[in-house]
Structure 1
Amino acid sequence: MSLAHRLALLLTLSSTAVLAHEPPWAREDSLRKRMLLERTAVCTDGKGHYVSSTEVFDSSQPQLFYGDGATFTEIPIAPNVVRLPTGSFFEPRFWNPDLESNANGVDARAYSVVQVDPKEGTCSVRCGQRATAFKLLATETSRELLRKAAYTPSPMKYEPYALLRDTKGVYFLVERGRLQAEQKSFRVFIGPRGRMKQQQMVNVVSDSKGEIFSTKKGDLQLLLDRELPSLWVEKKARRKLRQVPVSENLALIYNELGIYTGARLGTPCDDL
């Protein structure tokens, strides 16, 4: 399995665990859930930004939320199978070159981290290489705030699936749904760096050999092939495309292609 496919698989595994509409303690209708609430730390930078970190029993990574204290958004955390620091979360806009490029099949440089030390009473958020000190709230204050807050799923509904380009510098990006139930939901973007636009194309073929995306009339087609060169088809004209590894170009995808310019991903790094 290629590095890109391992990345997609691991992001899928993590997203199925974290994309929900309720916090881990939900309605506190069991001892286990009440214990989860007790184990949840809340930190603030004093400027209206809050992060919460819940030590989930069956995970090596805590469940993370970010918000303004009234509403919290779930943060896509690192999957259990990846050796990353506790509190790591997917944040491809902020790169950390000090981390491994291949940490058990995942590029660790694309992950930032919320670090909480209850014993020392400290908390911080690192976005890429930049760390911001947060203040750890008292337990009673945290519980009251968490009980009153509303919770929303991550706005990161799609993940990069395939990236290609032609010899003129035109990029072709295919994204698919992050949730396992939405793996057949695709988006196609085409254009030069910084000016890519979403195309009205549908997935007409998806099998072990690749995918075919087409406009409604079929005059434009994008052919992704597992074995042969991928193609961009305009009526009868065919243009070969070069595969660009997704896992090695996350910073390019999220920072330079223009698709995510100005977008909020629901992580602390939106504001820090």
Structure 2
Amino acid sequence: MNTRRLIAAAVALLSGTSWGIEPPWGKGEKLGELLILEQTTVCTDGKGHYVVVAPEEQKGKQLFYGDGKAFVQVAPPPFGASGTHFLEPRFFAKTANPNFRGIDWRVFSEVEVDAEKKTCAVRCGERSTPWTVMEPEQAQKLVTAAKYEKNPQQYEPYALLRDTKGNYYLVEKGFQPEDEKSFRVHVGPKGSLKRQEMKDIVSDSEGQIFSTKKGDLRLLVDRAQSPLWIEGAKKKVELKVVPITENLPMIYNELGVYAGARLGTPCDDQ
């Protein structure tokens, strides 16, 4: 281990740079933090995009993605997946296992890195693209000077419903833990869903009731009965529940709600 190089990196960390979140190596003051820097790998596609692969206690690795000046935290995968995997429903790997350890691997992509062989690739769905592993000194200089932010996603699919005319009703909830009680509702045909100015007036273990500010349109997502879309005092439309997990590629690629959205993954610019 090049201690002099690590100490120089620690000095850069203490030079006044601020972060939206603290990077894995913290302030670089302790030996453990310096060791994390030593074990961190940075890959680049040569087009101004970088992925940071840093050690992490629970999943072994954690990912950050950005332009070299700022990085966002890639959302960690569920239990049973390694830290180099990430949910990426926009890219579908049809040949992957649809149910291994409770995970549909068809909607997961990954960063394939071998630090010893100095190889790196970003796989988005079924397409794997070689990236270049940066030299350690250059990589540490890059990551210690950068800013770090939370994952940019604000909302994620919570419930999907459909009527007999082909209109979809997508309910989203806040992506970050502190926003998990924040909801949004979009309604319309595939490719043209429009956000409704609604508010959540009931949310409990039995479901949710969303209503417009005027109260003339309501969406009932009830666990005990079929979901309903209510317009005025008389019109009630019974809705069919469309499973979220089995339809993630359609939700992200066809409904239109997530068109152009950045999910904070290395596939955002692929």
1:99-114 residue pairs with structure 2 within 5 A?
A: 99-114=96-111
Contact 1:203/1:211 (CA < 8 Å) preserved in 2?
yes
Matched positions, count = 250
Partners of 1:105 and 1:218 in 2: how far apart? Answer: 40
Please tell me whether residue 269 in structure 1 is matched to residue 267 in structure 2: yes
Which residue among 132, 135, 148 is the counterpart of 2:132? 135
Please tell me whether residue 184 in structure 1 is matched to residue 165 in structure 2: no
Task: Provide the identity percentage.
Answer: 50
Using structure 1 for the length normalisation, give the TM-score.
0.88
Contact 1:61/1:78 (CA < 8 Å) preserved in 2?
no
Which runs of 5 or more residues in structure 2 are unaligned?
1-19
Partners of 2:137 and 2:51 in 1: how far apart? Answer: 16
Q: Residue 179 and residue 264 in structure 1: after superposition, are their counterparts in 2 closer, same or farther (change >3 A)?
A: closer
2:241 alignment partner in structure 1 = 243
Question: What secondary structure, in the 3-state scheme, does the structure 2 residue paired with 1:188 have?
Answer: strand
Contact 2:121/2:130 (CA < 8 Å) preserved in 1?
yes
Partners of 2:149 and 2:136 in 1: how far apart? Answer: 23
1:164-203 residue pairs with structure 2 within 5 A?
A: 164-203=161-200
Contact 1:162/1:246 (CA < 8 Å) preserved in 2?
yes
2:41 alignment partner in structure 1 = 41
Which residue among 192, 198, 202 is the counterpart of 1:205? 202
Contact 1:164/1:242 (CA < 8 Å) preserved in 2?
yes
1:62 alignment partner in structure 2 = 61
Q: CA RMSD in A?
A: 1.3
Deviation readout 1:39-98 (Å, 9 max, x if unpaired): 110011111111110011x2224111111111111111212x22x355101111001112
Please tell me whether residue 76 in structure 1 is matched to residue 75 in structure 2: yes
Partners of 1:128 and 1:146 in 2: how far apart? Answer: 27
Which residue among 90, 112, 117 is the counterpart of 2:114? 117
Question: What secondary structure, in the 3-state scheme, does the structure 2 residue paired with 1:167 have?
Answer: coil
Contact 1:71/1:152 (CA < 8 Å) preserved in 2?
yes
1:260 alignment partner in structure 2 = 258
Question: What secondary structure, in the 3-state scheme, does the structure 1 residue paired with 2:113 have?
Answer: strand
2:10 alignment partner in structure 1 = none
Partners of 2:263 and 2:154 in 1: how far apart? Answer: 10
Question: What secondary structure, in the 3-state scheme, does the structure 2 residue paired with 1:141 have?
Answer: helix
Question: What secondary structure, in the 3-state scheme, does the structure 2 residue paired with 1:132 have?
Answer: strand
Deviation readout 1:139-189 (Å, 9 max, x if unpaired): 111111111111121111211110000000000001111222221111111
Q: Residue 61 and residue 159 in structure 1: after superposition, are their counterparts in 2 closer, same or farther (change >3 A)?
A: farther
Question: What secondary structure, in the 3-state scheme, does the structure 1 residue paired with 2:267 have?
Answer: helix
Letter in 1 for 2:173: R
